[in-house]
Structure 1
Amino acid sequence: MTGLIVPPGGGRKLITKAQEVTFKATQAQGSSISVFEVVVPPGFDVGAHTHGDAQEFFYVLEGQLELLAFEPVKRTEDSWHDWESADGDKAVQATEGAFMFVPPGTPHAFRNASDEPARMLFQCYPSPYHELYFEEIAEIWAAGGPVDPDAVERMRRRYDVGQITPLRYEPPTLLSTPSATERGA
């Protein structure tokens, strides 16, 4: 039996306008846990969602993410950002070294509300739920044009994703800096 060693920067990459996902360990390599490195751009919000069978693990490698992993007193369909649990838990601003475990059935979400990309190690058990999901969502993003929300919802159901609040990607607008000539220098 042989193990798997993936060097820094190694693995198969899926790059879309909304995320960069690098497959580190997959079912095809014999892993029962899918392992990914994910770059989360500024303005990306995965939306609150649940999984009936999957367990997920998130570890922030660099940058800052807002994380949530609890059942709120009241679910809202537009945004999870102000949710609160019966115990008073709220979303957490997580930086390097923060870890989140999500058992099956638990509402969870992450977003990058900063102006810098964040990077996380993401694991999902069992394989290959998220491997297939990432493949298909990359195809949808790559097609360009408007995304068919009904097709996305059907895809989510196939991969055990019960979406509660919408996935959003609203990149921050870059303000142009005036040139020296424009500033009168």
Structure 2
Amino acid sequence: MNATHKDYFNDLLENKAVILQPGEGEKTGLGGFSCTFKVTSELSGNRLGIYEITLPPHTIGANLHYHRYMDEAFIINKGVLTIQLADKMVEVAAGGVAYAPRFTPHGFRNNSVEPVTLTLIFNPSENREGFFYGLIETLSEQPVDPQKYLKLYHKYDSFPVDTENMLPVK
């Protein structure tokens, strides 16, 4: 008989909570765009990613795309975010929520003259932080290489609906 005894009847409780106050978290960005990592893939075992995004005025966050394995939710904290769906644009004001389950074509942008701040949630997250680092690197290069951008997209479960109109530039 094994000398180690396992308890099959009681839960093992552990304090693994993480609290991030406003302004806390690792931040990356380019120009007026910023992304602050709140709950990372590493913290959640790839089950959840929560990111605070700031989009400057008249900025495309992402053109129409979909995910095969992730759901994406947007919680608008400040300003008005324009969500693109397959057949329409919808403005979502502060306090509003938009949910794009997997296989739902969606995009988002700030069409206003004020910055937009939102909380972006991915479930599962699948190392989404790598996507944001790669995005900053790719968009920093001029001209932007569409093939490099597409490779990044595919690696992180993002599939543009129209590869001719996938780059987030006007």
Q: Out of 32, 37, 58, which is 1:23 matched to?
A: 37
Q: Which of structures 1 and 2 has the larger relative contact order (alpha carbons within 8 angstroms, sep 6+)?
A: 1
In the alignment of these two chains, the number of paired residues is 151
Q: Out of 94, 108, 111, which is 2:109 matched to?
A: 111
Report the alpha carbon displacement of residue 110 of structure 1 after superposing the two structures with TM.
Answer: 0.9
Match of 1:147? 144
Task: Give the whole-Å Cα distance in 1 for the aligned partners of 2:131 and 2:72.
Answer: 14
Does 2:81 match 1:65?
A: yes
Distance change >3 Å, CA 129–CA 102, structure 1 → 2:
farther
Report the alpha carbon displacement of residue 17 of structure 1 after superposing the two structures with TM.
Answer: 2.5
CA RMSD across the alignment: 1.6
Task: Give the whole-Å Cα distance in 2 for the aligned partners of 1:162 and 1:99.
Answer: 22
Task: Kindly report structure 1 stretches of 4+ aligned residues shifted beyond 4 Å.
Answer: none
Report the alpha carbon displacement of residue 116 of structure 1 after superposing the two structures with TM.
Answer: 1.0
Instruction: State the TM-score, normalized to the length of structure 2.
Output: 0.82
1:4-50 deviation line (CA, Å, top 9, x unaligned): 00011000001112620000001222352100000011122210101
Report the alpha carbon displacement of residue 167 of structure 1 after superposing the two structures with TM.
Answer: 3.1
Q: Where does the alignment leave 5 or more consecutive residues of structure 1 unmatched? A: 73-82, 84-89, 171-185
Match of 1:80? none
SS in 2 for 1:47: strand
Task: Give the whole-Å Cα distance in 2 for the aligned partners of 1:26 and 1:99.
Answer: 21
Match of 1:39? 54
1:80-119 deviation line (CA, Å, top 9, x unaligned): xxx3xxxxxx321111011011111000111111111100
Instruction: State the TM-score, normalized to the length of structure 1.
Output: 0.76
Identity of aligned residues (%): 28
Match of 1:183? none
CA contact under 8 A between 1:26 and 1:128: conserved in structure 2?
Answer: no
Greater share of residues in strand: 2
